Amino acid sequence: MIASWIEQRGWTTSAQERPQAAAIVQAAPAPLKAPTALSLDPEQMQQLTRSLTTLQQTVEQLAAAQDQLAREIEKLQTADVEILAKIPAPPPPRPIATPARKPPSGPQSSRAPMAPPSSRAPTPPRQ
């Protein structure tokens, strides 16, 4: 059926696809038929009506609660903006001071440090 419809449209199918299409058509459930006579129990109808009324009230309550939450969220967002506007700006960052170097903490020598040998003659101290 599907294969003949595809061929009518001018589409082509491989020989392997045709058996698969036929299997799909055979496995498809039959369309549902509407009941010829609809019999409703009046008690069931009343119960269904009550259930639908309760459901409608519940939906209305949820919608009202959602509206209330939306208003509360809006108030909180407004308060947040107002609070943030009142906070002063932070001071500019100060440069980081590097600590002074400490002399090595090894054994102290009683000798005075010697100047490295120089090829020039020593200069007299300034007065």
DSSP class per residue in the chain: -HHHHHHHTT----TTHHHHHHHHHHHSPPPPPPPSS----HHHHHHHHHHHHHHHHHHHHHHHHHHHHHHHHHHHHHHHHHHHHHSPPPPPPPPPPPPPPPPP-SPPPSSPPPPPP-SSPPPPPP-
What is the pTM for the complete model shown?
Answer: 0.38
Task: Tell me the CA distances in angstroms from 118 to 72, 76, 103, one per residue in order.
Answer: 84, 78, 26
Most confident listed range (2-11, 36-45, 65-74, 116-125): 65-74
Quick one: pLDDT band at residue 39, thresholds 50, 70, 90?
confident
Per-residue confidence band for 68, with pLDDT thresholds at 50, 70 and 90: very high
pLDDT computed for residue 41 by the predictor: 87
Q: How confident is the model at residue 101 (pLDDT cuts 50, 70, 90)?
A: confident
pLDDT class of 71 with cuts at 50, 70, 90: very high
Residue 49 has pLDDT above 90, yes or no: yes
Please report where in the chains the tokens 């589409």 appear, as a residue.
11
Give me the pLDDT at residue 54, please. 97
